[in-house]
């Protein structure tokens, strides 16, 4: 894949609580790019459906999903360290054992750490829309990305996207409708209703306050 960054590494100081959560809980929940390819059953100590979320932000919705669906294993990827610290704090407070975290570039994690055919779901909720036309090339949903993650999904596994930018929703639909080896679960050109199990995120609330709509897309790997 061509290496055009789809994110900006935001600066921000961790609170004392977030740093303490990192110190205490990273050894239990943190995963390292340098350790290479994982065995999910070994990482979690069990066989279970595996969900990976790219860019979980402050992590509140990911923790909520992991709490509400304990039968699933969750891996989150986020480069913003205060968000990682907050997620680790909340996950530990909830006593969750079904969540693990990378604080790395998602493209590198997918390539080097996630086994082919291992994911039941890949979630990408409210990624940076790069709304200026000259920045559209930075959007993470591109043809090469669609094929890179297809390898990681099981047959029948789902790539679930959500955005509050209509132009980005249209871009996602165009890219994924043309992507080989996928089927739109809702039918050609159709967006999905928001599933009950996807929490309303901070970014979604902000978008709705600004008068934005919200679009979910769910594409299943067919081959």
Question: In the prediction, which pLDDT does 127 show?
Answer: 92
Catalytic residues: 128
Query: Residue 209's pLDDT is what?
Result: 85
- Torsion on CA atoms 9, 15, 21, 23, rounded to nearest 10: 80
CATH number, residue 169 = 3.40.50.150
The beta-carbon contacts of 32-38 under 8 Å, at least 24 apart in sequence, are 32/102, 33/102, 33/104, 33/108, 33/109, 33/112, 33/113, 35/113, 36/112, 36/113, 37/112, 37/113, 37/114, 37/115, 38/113, 38/114, 38/115
Residue scoring higher pLDDT (202 or 10) = 202
Q: Is the dihedral of CA 199, 50, 218, 127 positive or negative?
A: positive
Is 6 within a domain?
no
The pTM score is 0.90
What proportion of the chain, given as a percentage, has pLDDT over 90? 78
Please tell me the total count of domains within the chain. 1
Q: What is the chain's alpha carbon radius of gyration, rounded to the nearest angstrom?
A: 17
Does a structural domain hold residue 21?
no
**What's the pLDDT tens digit per position in 159-194?**
999 998 999 999 999 999 999 999 999 999 999 999
Residue 165 domain-assigned? Answer: yes
Return the H-helix or E-strand segment holding 125. Answer: strand 119-125
Tell whether 2 is covered by a domain. no
Domain assignment of residue 27, yes or no: no
Tell me if 20 is assigned to some domain: no
In a domain, 35, yes or no: no
Domain interval for residue 150: 41-221
pLDDT reported for residue 12: 65
Residue 6 has pLDDT above 50, yes or no: no
pLDDT tops 70 at residue 1: no
**Is the CB of residue 84 less than 8 Å from the CB of residue 99?**
no
Contact 109, 149 (CB under 8 A): no
Residue with tokens 């978008």: 207
Q: In whole angstroms, what is the distance from residue 201 CA to residue 45 CA?
A: 29
**Does some domain include residue 152?**
yes
pLDDT digits (tens, 9 = 90+) for 36-80: 999 999 999 999 999 999 999 999 999 999 999 999 999 999 999
Q: Are 126 and 206 in contact (CB under 8 A)?
A: no
């Amino acid at each position: 894949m061509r290496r055009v960054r789809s994110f900006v590494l935001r600066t921000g100081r961790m609170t004392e609580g977030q740093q303490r959560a990192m110190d205490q809980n990273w050894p239990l929940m943190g995963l390292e790019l340098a350790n290479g390819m994982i065995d999910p059953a070994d990482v979690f100590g069990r066989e279970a459906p595996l969900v990976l979320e790219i860019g979980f932000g402050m992590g509140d919705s990911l923790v909520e999903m992991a709490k509400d669906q304990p039968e699933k294993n969750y891996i989150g990827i986020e480069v913003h360290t205060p968000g990682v610290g907050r997620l680790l704090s909340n996950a530990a407070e909830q006593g969750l054992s079904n969540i693990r975290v990378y604080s790395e570039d998602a493209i590198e994690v997918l390539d080097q750490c996630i086994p082919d055919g291992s994911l039941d779901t890949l979630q990408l909720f409210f990624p940076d829309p790069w709304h200026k036309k000259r920045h559209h090339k930075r959007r993470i949903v591109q043809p090469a990305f669609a094929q890179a993650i297809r390898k990681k999904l099981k047959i029948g596994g789902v790539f679930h996207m959500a955005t509050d930018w209509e132009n980005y929703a249209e871009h996602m639909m165009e890219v994924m409708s043309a992507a080989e080896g996928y089927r739109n679960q809702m039918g050609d050109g159709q967006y999905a209703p928001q599933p009950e199990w996807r929490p309303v995120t901070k970014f979604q609330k902000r978008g709705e306050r600004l008068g934005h709509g919200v679009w979910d897309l769910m594409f299943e790997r067919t081959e």
